[in-house]
Amino acid sequence: MHQVFDTVRQMEGLGWTFKVNAEYLEVYNDRLNDLLGGKQGCPMRETPKGIVIEGMQSEVVTSVPEVMAALQRGSDKRIVAKMSMNDRSSRGHSIFTIHVKQMLEMGGERS
C-alpha cells in the first residue's frame, strides 16, 4: 500500500489526479456481506460492465493508515465462531479490494 500512495503522490506532480477506494466483501453461507457498509445479503448481478455486487459501499481512502483502518473495521464485522483449535475462526471468506482511478487533468480517465 505504501507503494501505491507513493506512486499517487509522484504522479500528481505530473498533472494526474487519483481517486482510491476500498471495498470489503465477505462470502458466508452463500451470502455476500458488505463489511464496510454493513449490508448483508447483497445481490450479485452480471451487467454489460461486468459482475456487480449491489449495495456495496465503496470508501474513499487517501493514505495507508486509512486503508488499514478500513481493513480493521471490516475485519471486526466478520462472522466468526470458536472452533476446537482456534478461538476466533472465520466461517467464510473475505475479499478486500482497492480500486485506483487515474484521471488526467485535461479530461482523460483510466481505471
Helix/strand/coil for 72: helix
Q: What is the pLDDT of residues 30-54, one digit of tens each?
A: 899 999 998 999 999 999 989 999 9
Single pTM value for the model? 0.80
Distance (Å, whole) CA 17 – CA 92:
36
* Confidence at residue 90, expressed as pLDDT on a 0 to 100 scale: 61
User: Which amino acid belongs to residue 9?
Assistant: R
Helix/strand/coil for 15: coil
Percent of the chain with pLDDT over 70: 85
Distance (Å, whole) CA 23 – CA 42:
13
